[in-house]
Chains A and B, each alone.
Chain A
Amino acid sequence: MRIAPTFHVAYRALRRNKMRSVLTALGIIIGVGAVIAMVGIGNGAKAQVEAQIASLGQNVILIFSGSTTSSGIRTGWGGAGTLKIEDAEAIRREVPSVIGVSEEVVSTTQAAAGNQNWFTRIFGESADYFDIRQWPLSDGAPFTPQDVRSANKVCVIGRTTATQIYGNENPIGQILRIKNVPFTITGVLTPKGLSPQGVDQDDIVVMPYTSAMKRVIGGTTLRNINVQIDDPAQIAPAQQQIISLLRQRHNIRPGRDDDFTVRTQQEIAEAATATSRVMTVLLGAIAGVSLVVGGIGIMNIMLVSVTERTREIGVRMAVGARGTDILTQFLIEAVTLSSVGGLIGIICGIGASSVLSIYAHWPTLISIGSIAIAFLFSAAVGVFFGFYPARKAAALDPIEALRYE
């Protein structure tokens, strides 16, 4: 029953000290704005990672040579050359749900055409690669299974490689010299942009893995095998089948670690988003600190205000205000400061993150949930930091308060 006039009193008190109220709210505005923008950046990065994991292809299983935990030491994926071409063939032959397999070897080297030079990444793949990665060509045609079988000197290049070497010329049909071996370009891949790690995915030359192993990279082992499964429900069984098939082929006795690593797309996605989730939490926490600083600002101003208005509190008590009335009045003041600051902060945060995404091309994502949480949190900051000063005011002795100079 006394709440409405108490609101009015609190509102008037804030209006009376406009500049001070604005500055105090500014602490919260900056805090909430920072939280919204930072979490927006973190979530945007996460969403981008997820989108790119999805662009790995559909229902994909990756097999890397080397174990992540061989004798307790991480050798890293592709660390030891244990995957053979025959392993890939066995998978193609013996795992029924497999619809595509691409043997992969990777290297970085110089590519040249005419007087143009470009240092780029060489991927040796099978003809299934473009289907597995769901990476169509924008121009020309991919190499064929026949090219793979015959280790033909053909390749497909990414958009970046194309522009770096050929500028505006059409690269299709041109000769690209890699380690002095002339390759004929049959197609150009559609651009994919940056990977989550910041690698330009379009800076690439894709050629038959046979050609790569024979003419460019050398060696007899694969870095990894990309496998595509026909049905998401078959991914887990297929993963198990591949593991037991490879263990058998590699003569690994029961109880010994695998000398290869099988990862589903799901697992890779989880690992990648875990990183960006950590980043989101970290950014949010740093921004949260500024929100807490804003809260301390509110507490400080409320304490000053209680001291300044000691006489007023005394008068109010003399005319019948209870401790709880005084407490509510100051709490409402604090919460009004913090939640109005929160609202403005949310608007500023949204503004800041859209500026970042427009001008710095950072992906940002602001959800309704994070807005609601930011608002509730700012109100809670008001309650938390306003409570002590408010209680101090409510506990004043009316006689002493009236006599306060």
Chain B
Amino acid sequence: MKNGALVRLVDVHKTYRTGEMEVPAVCGVSLEIKRGEFVALMGASGSGKSTLMNILGCLDRPTTGSYFLDAADVSGLNRDQLADVRNRKIGFVFQNFNLLPRTSARENAELPLIYGAHGLSHSQLCEKADRVLSSVGLAGREDHHSSQLSGGQQQRVAIARALINDPEMLLADEPTGNLDSRTSVEIMAIFQQLNERGITIVMVTHEQDIAAYAQRNVIMRDGVILDDHLVTQRFEAAAQIQQNGRARPEPARRGEGAPDTHVTM
């Protein structure tokens, strides 16, 4: 299965129950994501993107339907088993970064290692954290606390944290939602670079321009998938940065023509 689907959702439903009310958030989603894909999940507010991401990230279980991650059915796992899957296979990046306060970048990045079976010594942990931090461009910032870092830098720490356990899949729910456009491009550059190294990425975004950095766009509405297509004119974040070194430069295109910015929802 190594080259098959990393993620396979089969008729997944998620219904929230608040008192008497039943709120259907995801209503029958079937989706396959192959290893090495870079998917952007889009849709109006309340369409169920975050709910679906939580299921993908093993933070939540579907009400009905099956979820195969790496060919293993994870829809029936208990809390502890899900925690282990998250630790080994999944890295999260959040809109609001979710770094631990008054904690250094290094210690934030190390966090998943505390909860995994790796048998590394303390110095090996530090070394590994520093390596990952420098790979996201934070060399020299290891000892800074989150309050001493810019939003973009904080998001890089969060990415380093997500990467430290070499996950199969990086899940990012609106990773650029709190960042300006220039910083967003920088984060997208990191994502594309990671994706080229083989990491599968699923990213929720509201912005067409951000979705254009992905290979594939999945559009949701009212808990179902409305549209699912490959991006024909993909943005190249690294090239954009190189070209201008400024915020949101003239888009560098991989294909021809305008990016697909007119997806109907």
Contact = CB atoms under 8 A, between A and B. Distances in A.
B111 A315 contact: yes
A303 to B, nearest CB: 19
Given A5-B114, A318-B92, A322-B83, 13 more contacts: A2-B114, A312-B100, A319-B86, A319-B92, A319-B112, A319-B115, A320-B83, A320-B165, A321-B114, A323-B83, A399-B54, A399-B59, A402-B98
Contacts of B103: 12
B115 A315 contact: no
A281 B29 CA distance: 68
A325 B117 CA distance: 13
A325 B115 contact: yes
A324 B84 CA distance: 12
B56 to A, nearest CB: 12
A321 B92 CA distance: 14
Contact of A318 (B86, B99, B116): B86
A150 B226 CA distance: 127
Contacts of B86: 318-320
Given A311-B98, A402-B94, A402-B98, A316 B80 contact: no
27 contacts: A1-B117, A9-B114, A311-B98, A315-B99, A316-B111, A316-B115, A317-B59, A317-B83, A319-B87, A319-B92, A319-B111, A319-B115, A320-B83, A320-B84, A320-B86, A320-B87, A320-B88, A320-B115, A320-B116, A320-B165, A321-B114, A322-B83, A322-B84, A322-B115, A323-B83, A399-B59, A399-B60
Interface in A11-45: 12, 16
A160 B80 CA distance: 78
Contacts, number: 62
Interface string A293-313: 000000000000000000110
B102 interface: yes
A36 B115 CA distance: 40
Interface of B: 54, 57, 59-60, 79-80, 83-84, 86-88, 92, 94, 98-103, 111-112, 114-117, 161, 165
A138 to B, nearest CB: 70
A261 to B, nearest CB: 70
A323 B79 contact: yes
A72 to B, nearest CB: 69
Name the 6 nearest CB pairs between A and B, nearest first.
A320-B87, A319-B112, A320-B115, A5-B114, A322-B83, A322-B80
A6 interface: yes
Contact of A315 (B54, B100, B102): B100
A398 interface: yes
Contacts of B84: 320, 322
A319 B154 CA distance: 17
Given A16-B102, A312-B100, A323 B80 contact: yes
B250 to A, nearest CB: 37
A6 B54 contact: no
